[in-house]
Structure 1
Amino acid sequence: MMKSNLLEFTQPELTDFMADLGEKPFRAKQVWQWIWQKGVVDFEAMTNLSKDARAQLSDTAEIRWPMVEKALVSADGTVKFLLGLDDGSKVETVLIPEKDHFTQCLSTQVGCALGCRFCSTGTLGFTRNMTSGEILGQILVARRWLEEHEEPLRLRNLVFMGMGEPLLNFEALERSLHGLNSDLGLDFSTRRITVSTVGIVPKLQALGELALSSLAVSLHAPNQAIREQIMPKAARTPLAELMDELARYPIRNRESITFEYLLLGGINDEPEHARELIRLLSRVKAKINLIAYNASPGLPFKRPDPARVEAFQNVLRAKGFTATLRKSKGSDIKAACGQLAANPEE
């Protein structure tokens, strides 16, 4: 029988677990720090615990990280990890280099049930939800890689934009966000964490009430017809209903909702589409993150012409919107937006 994996415990749960072993709450805090701050997987290395406590932990529990099966490094410094989970499932996570830090793109599901037609992950179908320990374990793997490669930049930002729809795995997402916010553990600022969703209406308000992350909405269409064409399952929630929900979404001072808009050549990249997008977003405090499509094998879409991308962006900016063009990174190792497919052969 497999022992308990302490990565799956919240801090209160770890406190209860340690109490069952006869240990006081401060011991649980020490173990928590060893796991999440110091990245220790061997109880014998927890030198401020008694010998008896270490022995009891070894008898009853383990610290099991996702297994790195492959790490690919892009010409631009992006790193894509293929991770193996306990049941043999595969997921991918990506480290993206920025000017003065790294951002990590986290997965929340094995595969994805939404089947967006431009996304490689969507072609896999849905296998299962990831656990909170598997989600947070991606960060431990990335931090160790950075340490081992003596990277001068640290991991500072997290985006839940990898494989899967985070709000369809809300319980594990919530547990993960609380774990990230622990100052005794991973200790990420809530302003450095972004959760990306296609807009799962029943869970949006719950995410906002947590106030543990920023919100990004994978919109990709300026009207219902195009959304039905490229995101048929997400489009079951009408855009009008989604925008009503987002108009009520609680955001903090000086913050906006980010709308991700993937420009697909000849599909949604006309100036008129930009004008429709302006009308659609008129009731929310929005900033727009434009993404030029990265071609993926077997998918029937093409990258937009750079001149059309610029024209689209200019229409948005002329109306006062903050509209940035995300620089594509990692496309040579299929690590860019929409390219994650957990393929061991890559």
Structure 2
Amino acid sequence: MKTIFVFYGGPSVEHNVSVNSAKAVLNALNRDKYHVQPVYITKEGVWLRLPEAKEAFENVEQMKRETDGQSIAQSLAAFLTSHDFSDGKTVFFSVLHGTYGEDGGIQGFFETVDVPYVGSGVTASAVCMDKARSNEIMEQNGIPQAKFVVLTRHQLDTQGLDADGIVEKLGLPLYAKPANCGSSVGVVRVTEKEQLLEAVEEALQYDHKIVLEEEIWGRELNVSVIGNESPQGSIPGDFAMETGYFDYELKYKNPDIVPIIPAKIPEDRFCDLANLAARTYEVLGCGGTARVDIFYTEEGELKVNEINTMPGMSDLSMTPVLWKATDGTEYTELLDKLIDWGIDAHAKKKALVRTFE
């Protein structure tokens, strides 16, 4: 049997989101095929390996532990000596969201330990986490998206804010977004030019670089993409909600939001959405799975909003439900596929020539 190490928590503003996702993943993994090994990472970055999870977790508090004063380095040393990671039967499954989990850092650690892992590699994770870089790459490859402006803390401090120029290019309303955050953390909607500086300062609390984007008036549809070299897009999903802006509180703390699967748009557009999502996934070099969020305007235009290389897996998340509706894939089967793709990607990388004499 393979041992699946599931990592969650982490020093990120999305710590709690990660724990909620991990609960679903841990509970859905097939105990007949895997030894399921939880690894909780505290908000301070300390790694704590829990006992093997032979039964499902009833609540997230069961998945957490307190530190006994060890440093991050000490906890990593304890983790690395707690298991034979060269046994050929181990796979890493990160459910870490946002910075630390989706920015290429943890993927680099997995590469160093030389263990197969689920999801995108170092480069794709880093690029997709950085909305500025991913927007620029999508623009270069003809992926339709909102108009945008990139602004750094250094530029603001040394050059000031060209509010007139930004509004002229993007119009109003517009959004200020931290370049390297997720789950709508730090995102501010700006309706008047006089609000722009305050919104920029708020977004810059979460990252030294932000993206300013025009508001696209339309529905934000979710498409899940899975696979490595031959990615497939799911049918689109939507959420029924009264507000026009899907913020953090609504995403994760409102029990009344209702997923609509499939989204209520003409069925002949399903293929267009799936193809655009898969194309975006390919252009950015993703692997395993990702969720692509696409605006569908009143005129029927499609514009990519963003891509998430570690989509939410909580009870309110789209990914497992979308694949159930697309082709009947059950959650446990989906996790099996992700694990197999991680093993395949690792094997292909190991087959590459790494020395030259």
Same fold (TM over 0.5): no
Where relative contact order (Cα < 8 A, 6+ residues apart) is larger, the structure is 2
TM-score (norm 1): 0.29
